[in-house]
Amino acid sequence: MASHKSALKRIKQTLKRADANRAHRTKLRHQMTKLRAALDAKDKAKAGELLRPTLALIDHSIRKGVLHRNTAARYKSRLTLCYNSLGESAAAPSASA
């Protein structure tokens, strides 16, 4: 265990930041899970409600240093593509029928 005053302070700061990062990461993962569940169920209305807050949370994670910007961009791209494909798949059968 550290004995210097500054080292003890650093330990406290690290633990506090780790708790905050863990909470934020958990919140992000739960939000993404909800969105993916709506996308898998092909529920465009529910997915539409969840998409903007999820993308905002991903952007917030970049600013907080929880996610790397390239990782966040990949998540946002894939989620948006899945959401946009819901509209196309719903329109395709009616156009061919």
Is residue 29 domain-resident?
Answer: no
Q: Is residue 13 part of a domain?
A: no
Residue 94: pLDDT band (50, 70, 90) is: very low
| Residue 68 resides in a domain | yes
pLDDT of residue 97: 44
Quote the domain boundaries for residue 54. 35-86
DSSP state for residue 43 in the 8-state scheme:
-
Q: What is the mean pLDDT of residues 43-61?
A: 96
Span 23-45, average pLDDT = 96
Residue 54 lies in a domain: yes
Structural domain contains residue 95: no
- How far apart CA 25 and CA 3 sit, in angstroms, is 32
Quote the tokens at residue 62.
């970049």
Residue 94 located in a structural domain: no
Q: What is the CA radius of gyration of the chain?
A: 19
Count how many domains the chain has: 1
Residue 2 in domain: no
Which stretch of DSSP H or E encloses residue 13?
Answer: helix 5-40
Q: Give the Cα separation of 94 and 70 in Å (integer).
A: 37
Average pLDDT over residues 52-60: 97
Q: Is the model's pLDDT at 20 over the cut of 70? A: yes
In a domain, 16, yes or no: no
